[in-house]
Amino acid sequence: MVALSAANIAEAGQLVEPLFRNTPQFHDPVLDQRLGRELVLKVETLNPLGSFKGRGASYFVRGLEPGREVVCASAGNFGQGIAYAAAARGIPVTVFTAENANAGKVARMRSFGADVKQFGADFDVAKDAAREYAAADGRLFVEDGEAPAIAEGAGTIGVELVPLDLDTLLVPVGNGALIAGIGCYLKAHSAWTRVIGVCAAGAPAMLRSWHDRTPVTTDSVDTMADGIAVRVPVPAAVGWMLEYVDDMLAVEEATIGRAMRLLRETTGQLVEPSAAAGIAALLDHEIPGERTGTIITGRNYLRETG
């Protein structure tokens, strides 16, 4: 496992493409009233990708040689990020997704120039196929949750949150790169902020891995939150989380749906299920701290919930 660097994250804060940086962060009084506490929302949806993934992709792609094909697996948002960043440098991208991947996300990846191959019953099966495809012809396979630069680019969110002096930050956890990068920076510059990860109860692999202190694979996932539907943890990301994450929580499907509706009713934001995980945690759990924040990670969802 290659260590993350708070200095690299600070550098990324200057190098990540500007349209992904300095995103809105605010609290909504009506939402605060409904939750019974002040909650800062860090909104990562107002960019061409509709998610935070452009931060890590932008920082990672800066270090690539032009021309060599990049291969990755994605539920949709990471693939969009890599495709968007690589297109600017003339780097071809192939993305593997599950056969049941969100059709809107697949279309967006293709719109950014990616060759999308749909394979297998879930994300982790698609990832195995992507790894095999890359190895067969010397292509570069990049795994979200394994490449330090991707986590460090995502960690630039932490740079922007430090001035808010938060007691607690709730972070949706998929492969762990986002929370690892943010946690690395906050532990160096806001050590009192408690960093809490939130998983879907129907995709508990990362939660179990953190509690058991070793990667724990599950047989299946069952959640509408495809952005955090991890079945096979990335060992590097688990190692980073053990260093930088203070607690991990799970939220039920019904509560994720409630959180999405609450955000829509109070702020008008239409988001994907994983983006509402932090708010769902506040509905399901007693969360410590007076000043709490969460990250609205993505908007790429085309189906209605409950």
Residues 41-47, mean pLDDT to the nearest whole number:
97
**Strand order through the sheet with 194-200:** 25-26, 39-43, 292-296, 168-172, 194-200, 247-251
In CATH, what is the architecture of 6-52+148-296?
3-Layer(aba) Sandwich (3.40)
CA distance 223 to 250: 12
Q: What integer pLDDT is reported at residue 7 of this predicted model?
A: 98
Buried b / exposed e along 52-89 (16+ C-beta atoms within 10 A): bbbbbbbbbbeebeeeebbbbbbbbbbbbbbbbbbeee
Site of tokens 């806001």: 190
> How many residues are present in the chain?
306
CA distance 41 to 47: 16
Residue range 233-256, pLDDT digits in tens: 999 999 999 999 999 999 999 999
Residue range 254-274, pLDDT digits in tens: 999 999 999 999 999 999 999
Higher pLDDT, 184 or 66: 184
Q: What integer pLDDT is reported at residue 302 of this predicted model?
A: 61
Residue range 83-99, pLDDT digits in tens: 999 998 999 999 999 99
CA distance 73 to 30: 39
Residue range 125-176, pLDDT digits in tens: 999 999 999 998 889 999 999 999 999 999 999 999 999 999 999 999 999 9
Q: What integer pLDDT is reported at residue 30 of this predicted model?
A: 98
SS (H, E, C) 237-279: HHHHHHHHCCEEEEECHHHHHHHHHHHHHHHCCCCCHHHHHHH
SS3 state of residue 4? coil
CA nearest 295: which of 274, 266, 268, 265? 274
Fold of the domain built from segment(s) 54-141: Rossmann fold (3.40.50)
Q: Which two tokens stand for residue 189?
A: 């510059």
Residues 266-294, mean pLDDT to the nearest whole number:
96
Residues facing 82 on adjacent strands: none
CA distance 24 to 214: 35
pLDDT-derived band at 300, boundaries 50, 70, 90: confident
Helix/strand number for the chain, H first, E second: 13, 10
Q: What integer pLDDT is reported at residue 123 of this predicted model?
A: 87
Q: What integer pLDDT is reported at residue 285 of this predicted model?
A: 97
**Residue range(s) occupied by CATH 3.40.50.1100 in the chain:** 6-52+148-296, 54-141
pLDDT at 124 over 90: no
pLDDT-derived band at 75, boundaries 50, 70, 90: confident
Residues facing 140 on adjacent strands: 70
Rg (CA), the chain: 18
Strand boundaries in the chain, DSSP class E: 25-26, 39-43, 70-73, 93-97, 115-118, 140-141, 168-172, 194-200, 247-251, 292-296
Interhelix angle for 177-189 vs 235-244, to 10°?
30
The alpha carbon dihedral of 10, 44, 211, 190 has a sign of positive
Q: What integer pLDDT is reported at residue 305 of this predicted model?
A: 38
Q: Are strands 194-200 and 168-172 parallel, antiparallel or unpaired?
A: parallel
